[in-house]
Amino acid sequence: MKNYNWNYPTTMWVGENRIIDLGNACKQLNIKSPLLVTDGGLAKTQMVLNILEKLKGDGFKVSIFSNVVGNPTGTNVIEGVDIYNKDNCDGVIAFGGGSGLDVGKAVAFMSGQTLPIWDFEDVGDNWTKANHDKISPIIAVPTTAGTGSETGRASVILNEETGVKNIIFHPKFLPSIVILDPTLTIGLPAKITAATGMDALAHNLEAFCAPGFHPMADGIALEGMRMINQWLLKAVKNGSDIEARMNMLAAASMGSTAFQKGLGAIHSLSHPVNALNNVHHGLSNAIFMPYVLTFNKDVIENKIIKICDYLELKNKTFDGFISWILDLRKKLGIPHKLSEVIKEKDLQLDRLSKMALEDPSTGGNPKKLTEADMKLMYQHSMSGTLFND
């Protein structure tokens, strides 16, 4: 039997208005001068202004860095590190959606490193090159229910020179304290709620279907999918539904916890179009989902039937699950075809297929893949034809 290493996450403070405990989180980690990392839109909101005011009122010397784009780049990280070091910060509050969280975690990691960030790509034992003692403490506060980056040990950062999204890994990327407060997600638009929710579904789904022995991940992934089935549409239809928002935050954190078991071709296909075509990651995952599932059908059908049973779907078959996915996407307003968000002339099919095959997520796909397979899945997603049609 193979050997496995299991790593499960971190301290999480969960509940309505738990953001008031942010100062206590800083004190617990001995952070006196935090750098709050977020995106430019959130930085201007009253929510962030209130948080900054309260931290300053509690005696913290707070700095803010908000030059973070939707698919965050190495330049974003470098600029954040410069602010961190210039202001003599001693910890990071990563605040926002996946981009803010990923950049915040990377800034805390890179603030004391001398090697370039790309030297720590999640390949082999690259993470051991890092100066372990120079990694700053991280508090993560998600404002979307999607990436689950708050419970992850990596950040996804775009290398502008190569056009590739790289996964940068180190065990200390995992935040020391996470605050899950549903009130922070109330203002999230319905479209973003839908796309990020489908991202959480993709994480739980691919983790469950990934090969390998990890029953803890499988159990968390199953329950994460059940919660998404119960609460995602409610959160989209009524953005002020605190219970729906809380359950979706939990399901997103569960997805990231589970996917240490592995991801798959949904993510492999997504990362290149996120990098080259600037498509929202959750949206692309949602689009690719049924094409990858039907491509993998012959090796995942039994697992999909288990999901159907746990979700108590009426049609407990592989085709019944695909129908559930297609119906959910339709109700959420998710496009069925990639061609609805990317023009064919802008699709660098050969380059995308090569990048997808080389993506780290490919190794977790239940079926071994080739570049031709990736190209075929891209083509199907453009035409809207599922593999079992």
Q: In CATH, what number is assigned to the domain containing residue 95?
A: 3.40.50.1970
Of 127, 155, 185, the residue that ends a domain is 185
Of 160, 185, 210, the residue that ends a domain is 185
Task: Identify whether residues 74 and 208 lie together within a single domain.
Answer: no
Confidence at residue 3, expressed as pLDDT on a 0 to 100 scale: 67
Q: What percent of the chain has pLDDT over 90?
A: 96
- Tell me which of 152 and 9 has the higher pLDDT: 152
8-state DSSP, 127: G
Given pLDDT bands bounded at 50, 70 and 90, which one contains residue 2?
A: confident
Task: Identify whether residues 130 and 206 lie together within a single domain.
Answer: no
Task: Identify whether residues 194 and 308 lie together within a single domain.
Answer: yes
Specify whether the CB–CB gap between 37 and 95 falls below 8 A.
Answer: yes
Task: Identify whether residues 90 and 217 lie together within a single domain.
Answer: no
List the one residue out of 260, 180, 247 whose CA is nearest residue 218. 260
Task: Identify whether residues 107 and 212 lie together within a single domain.
Answer: no
Tracing tokens 């319905």 back to the chain, one arrives at 190
Residue 141's beta-bridge partner residues?
A: 95
Confidence at residue 52, expressed as pLDDT on a 0 to 100 scale: 96
Confidence at residue 231, expressed as pLDDT on a 0 to 100 scale: 98
What would the pLDDT profile of 239-274 be if each residue is shown by its tens digit? Answer: 999 999 999 999 999 999 999 999 999 999 999 999
Distance in angstroms (rounded) separating the CA atoms of residues 326 and 335: 10
Look up the pTM and report it. Answer: 0.94
Residue 130 lies in a domain: yes
* Count of the separate structural domains present in the chain: 2
Given pLDDT bands bounded at 50, 70 and 90, which one contains residue 140?
A: very high
Distance in angstroms (rounded) separating the CA atoms of residues 203 and 225: 9
Whether the CA torsion 180, 186, 189, 193 is positive or negative: it is positive
Supply 158's token pair. 């775009």
Specify whether the CB–CB gap between 250 and 204 falls below 8 A.
Answer: no
8-state DSSP, 73: B
What range does the domain containing 288 cover? Answer: 190-383
Distance in angstroms (rounded) separating the CA atoms of residues 10 and 304: 29
Task: Identify whether residues 234 and 101 lie together within a single domain.
Answer: no
Confidence at residue 18, expressed as pLDDT on a 0 to 100 scale: 95
Of 185, 218, 235, the residue that ends a domain is 185
